[in-house]
């Protein structure tokens, strides 16, 4: 059982920099949990604080039924994989994988057996006597994973472990990591600034900014119902449409929000649709992002390849009422009103 409970967890660095602002939430046993946010939002500090590499200024961390807030990193039963893998360059693959077992006092034979077994699980057999410099980036990453797995920790902590790989290998490594985590069932906390990576990998995502959680939810929840305009802007490969306006009869300034993927497109008139002219067409592969310029607004809509319009033609953009969101213009927070009042 390795649930992680954070209670009012706070970290203030010298110079009065609040990196973690009284965070309280639970990461469930066996969950793949992503910490997502822009540079400087506090995600690495949070991961390092869970690992015991940073001391919190206030609050508590519990792993399973133990309060680990003041425990040394080696006694927390966690394994961390760093962005640069931090492999020992002078050691062979097998010795790198076995190193944490050595630190824990395992004898030579146990170390060799466990390291070989874990290396095989990650398809590293045949490479066990090589040094890290003689491996590809993807292989080095698997050695770092094997080293983390060798001690059977209760928790994996990953600090952007895919960011040093090229785009194609990164996608392969992502699929591999997801499968491995599913098979092992080990509670995993994964730091990334890449929203696509978080959506693809995580059971739940915490979107952070300025040391706080903006939204915590499943990938689907944060994509479909961003809690505020910050999350709406941050999540999604094509930007969410956010158009300022007024609520009819209520004298309230709001922002109308709709993802391009959740809007329909028509080249002929449709009741209730937004009318405009096609200004640009960006090819995304099987779909295109079409920008429609209307009276005082621009709106992006995703259109299947076969339906792609030509720039300059008339266009009607059809909102799906249950997929349109209204945000408060001042605070940016999601409002409860239905969008037809816009």
Contact 200, 167 (CB under 8 A): no
In 82-136, where does DSSP find H-type helix? 93-103, 108-121
Closest approach, Cβ 51 to ligand ATP, in A, equals: 12
Q: Which residue in the shown chain puts its C-beta closest to ligand ATP?
A: 44
Q: Which is nearer to ligand ATP, 45 or 241 (CB)?
A: 45
The count of residues interacting with ligand ATP (CB under 6 A) is: 13
189 binds ligand ATP (CB under 6 A): no
Retrieve residue 159's tokens: 């600090």
17 belongs to the binding site for ligand ATP (CB under 6 A): yes
| Residue 214 binding ligand ATP, by CB under 6 A | no
Kindly state the smallest distance separating residue 16's Cβ from ligand ATP, in Å: 10
- Per CB under 6 A, the segment of 38-46, 281-289, 304-312, 317-325 that binds ligand ATP is 38-46
Residue 28: phi, psi to the nearest 5?
A: -75, 160
Would you mind telling me the total number of residues written for the chain in this entry? Answer: 342
Q: How far is the CB of 39 from ligand ATP (least distance, A)?
A: 3
3-state secondary structure of 85: coil
Whether the CB-CB separation of 265 and 301 falls below 8 Å is answered with: yes
Residues 133-152 touching ligand ATP, rule: CB under 6 A, are: none
The answer to whether 19 contacts ligand ATP (rule: CB under 6 A) is: yes
What's the DSSP call for residue 296? S
Alpha helices in the chain (DSSP H): 43-51, 93-103, 108-121, 137-149, 167-184, 195-201, 219-224, 229-234
195 binds ligand ATP (CB under 6 A): no
Contact 31, 203 (CB under 8 A): yes
φ/ψ of residue 257, rounded to 5: -125, 130
CB closer to ligand ATP, 230 vs 256: 230
**What angle do the packed helices 108-121 and 93-103 form, to 10 degrees?**
130
Let me know if 91 is exposed, middle or buried by CB neighbors in 10 A (0-12, 13-18, 19+).
middle
How many Cβ atoms sit within 10 Å of the Cβ of residue 84? 12
Identify which of residues 21 and 314 has a Cβ nearer to ligand ATP in the complex: 21
* Residue 100 vs 211, nearer CB to ligand ATP: 211
Segment interacting with ligand ATP (CB under 6 A) among 34-42, 127-135, 232-240, 271-279? 34-42
Paired strand residues for 257: 242, 325
Per the listing, tokens 């040391």 go with 211
By CB neighbour count within 10 A (0-12 exposed, 13-18 middle, 19+ buried), where does 61 fall? buried
Shortest distance in whole angstroms from residue 19 CB to ligand ATP: 4
Q: Are strands 32-36 and 204-209 parallel, antiparallel or unpaired?
A: parallel
Could you say which residues in the range 39-68 bind ligand ATP, by CB under 6 A? 39-45
Binder among 13, 185, 237, 284 for ligand ATP (CB under 6 A): 13
Listed ranges 12-20, 174-182, 274-282, 292-300: which one lies at the site for ligand ATP (CB under 6 A): 12-20
Q: In the set 193, 204, 214, 259, which binds ligand ATP (CB under 6 A)?
A: 193
Stretch that binds ligand ATP, among 10-18, 122-130, 279-287, 297-305 (CB under 6 A): 10-18
Binding site for ligand ATP (CB under 6 A): 13, 15, 17, 19, 37, 39-45, 193
């Amino acid at each position: 059982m390795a649930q992680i409970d954070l209670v009012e967890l706070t970290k203030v660095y010298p110079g009065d920099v609040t990196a973690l602002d009284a965070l309280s939430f639970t990461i469930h046993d066996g969950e793949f949990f992503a910490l997502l946010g822009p540079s400087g939002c506090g995600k690495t500090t949070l991961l390092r604080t869970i690992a015991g590499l940073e001391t919190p200024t206030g609050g508590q961390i519990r792993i399973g039924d133990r309060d680990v807030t003041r425990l040394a990193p080696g006694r927390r039963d966690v394994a961390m994989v760093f962005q640069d893998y931090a492999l020992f360059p002078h050691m062979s693959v097998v010795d790198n994988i076995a190193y944490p077992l050595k630190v824990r006092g395992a004898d030579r034979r146990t170390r060799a057996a466990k390291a070989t077994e874990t290396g095989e699980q990650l398809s590293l057999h045949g490479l066990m006597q090589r040094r890290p410099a003689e491996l590809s980036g993807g292989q080095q990453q698997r050695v770092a994973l094997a080293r983390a797995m060798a001690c059977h920790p209760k928790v994996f902590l990953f600090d952007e472990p895919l960011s040093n790989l090229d785009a194609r290998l990164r996608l392969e490594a992502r699929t591999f990591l997801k499968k491995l985590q599913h098979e092992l069932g080990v509670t995993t906390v994964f730091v990334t600034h890449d929203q696509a990576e978080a959506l693809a990998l995580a059971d739940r995502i915490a979107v952070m900014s300025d040391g706080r959680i903006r939204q915590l939810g499943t990938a689907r929840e944060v994509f479909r119902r961003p809690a505020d305009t910050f999350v709406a802007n941050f999540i999604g490969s094509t930007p969410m449409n956010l158009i300022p306006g007024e609520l009819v009869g209520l004298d309230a300034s709001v922002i109308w929000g709709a993802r391009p993927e959740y809007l329909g497109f028509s080249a002929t008139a449709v009741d209730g649709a937004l009318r405009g002219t096609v200004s640009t067409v960006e090819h995304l592969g099987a779909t295109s992002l079409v920008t429609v310029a209307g009276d005082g607004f621009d709106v992006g809509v995703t259109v299947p390849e076969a339906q792609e319009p030509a720039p300059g033609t008339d266009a009607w953009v059809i909102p799906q009422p249950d997929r349109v969101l209204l945000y408060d213009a001042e605070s940016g927070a999601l409002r409860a009103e239905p969008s037809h009042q816009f």
